Copies of this chain bind each other. A is one copy, B any other.
Amino acid sequence: MDPSALMQRIARHAEVGATGDGGVCRIALTDADREGRDLLVHWMKALDLDIRIDQIGNIFGIRAGLQADAAPVMTGSHIDTVATGGRYDGCYGVMAGLEVVRVLNAQGIRTLRPVAVAAFTNEEGVRFMPDMMGSLVHAGGYPLQRALETVGTDGSVLGEELRRIGYAGGMPCGAILPHAFVELHIEQGPVLEAEGIAIGAVQDLQGISWREITVNGQSNHAGTTPMHLRRDAGYAAAAIAVFVRELAHRFGGSQVATVGSIRLHPNLVNVIASQATLTVDLRNTDESALQRAEAELAGFLQALSMRESVQIETRSLARFEPVRFDDRIVGLIEQSAARRGLSHRRMTSGAGHDAQMMARICPAAMVFVPSQQGISHNPREHTETADLVQGANVLLDVMRKLADEAL
């Protein structure tokens, strides 16, 4: 594979919504997203791909197989970003898919099955919730109509925005049922870099439990209120954050736990907080362990509420069960890396990806390449060119293999 072709495409696409500091702001269904889609479709057409756009705006570029009606082998990811996004998250997988097609075209290779490159709508879920929406609707996990009626953080309606940017397609969602799905993505975590490994063969994906917790206490003077008469929502929030950290260490294994957001009211130096709103993000590859973690948190909140005389309410923001990827495809990834002399390991994805939705309807797996310092959702997101090319080569191998599998 030609490194410059891949890198030029990534660089050119990163100009769309460029933030000037190396980052990209291409939030789903904005004008920047339209421009990014237009560029992608332009490239797909230049590669002689057959373009299909479905009713949620997912874009598929299809390269015919020898067996025209066979289930295609699909790769892809997304091209939308967070507000302070990098240039690799999502886009790398789509651009590498185009490169797979370009190489197949250049070498005149005909595969038995069609090869499809997908760009799924609204993976990030920044403006419209939930995230991974396009692939979720494609997989039948979320009603199309409900998705189209989603009201954005800016008050816009998803279906109207989709029409406005010209990507409300006619194809029914889920019309394409792949033979297999392989997503190439930067790790967005520090593991591969820390261990000096080139290729991650992603065998599973953590289950996710997001809860928003609201603590209501009593606002009072920080000097005049004795400790035993306090109903301190701020302390309760801190105690929860410390508890989930301790829980993650105690559970071990794949368990992670994060309190990434805390808001206190009135948030003043000398006033005991009357209210705290915080989020807890729990993840585990084992559904039963994740449920135990959730139960322990619920028990802690109940005891804390009694002990501190505060009211605690929680609501689920997101809940996904762990995903087990297809063992055979994971094996193909390992074989490709081994043949190419690349260090590799099986690993877990801690982040959500479109592949987890596709895994509901077909055999699926993912290829990871290292992320420098694990930084993502950040203009400083970076992966070395050599790592990006190696990942794309592994994708090419696996796609070729899968595309020649018998019907």
Residues of chain A at the chain B interface (Cβ within 8 Å) = 84, 187-191, 194, 206, 208, 210, 212, 218-227, 229, 232, 234-235, 237-242, 245, 248-249, 255-264, 266-273, 279, 281, 283, 317, 349-352, 373-378
Contact = CB atoms under 8 A, between A and B. Distances in A.
Given A190-B225, A239-B242, 14 more contacts: A189-B226, A190-B229, A191-B226, A206-B223, A208-B223, A220-B373, A221-B351, A223-B283, A223-B352, A224-B350, A237-B262, A238-B239, A260-B264, A269-B281
- The number of times this chain is found in the oligomer is 2
Contacts of A317: 269
Contact of A222 (B238, B242, B281, B375): B281
A138 B276 CA distance: 40
Contact of A220 (B212, B264, B374): B374
Contact of A375 (B194, B220, B264, B283): B220
A270 B241 contact: no
Contacts of A267: 260-263
Contacts of A194: 229
A225 B248 CA distance: 12
A241 B234 contact: yes
A55 B268 CA distance: 30
Contacts of A210: 269-270
A221 B227 CA distance: 36
A269 B279 contact: yes
A80 to B, nearest CB: 16
A224 B264 contact: no
A256 B226 contact: yes
Contacts of A249: 227
14 contacts: A84-B266, A187-B224, A191-B229, A220-B375, A225-B350, A227-B249, A232-B258, A234-B259, A235-B245, A237-B241, A260-B268, A261-B264, A262-B262, A270-B281
A213 to B, nearest CB: 11
Contact of A262 (B226, B234, B256): B234
Interface core residue of A245, A273, A349 (most chain B CB under 10 Å): A245
A218 B190 CA distance: 12
Nearest to A187: B224
Contacts of A376: 220-221, 224
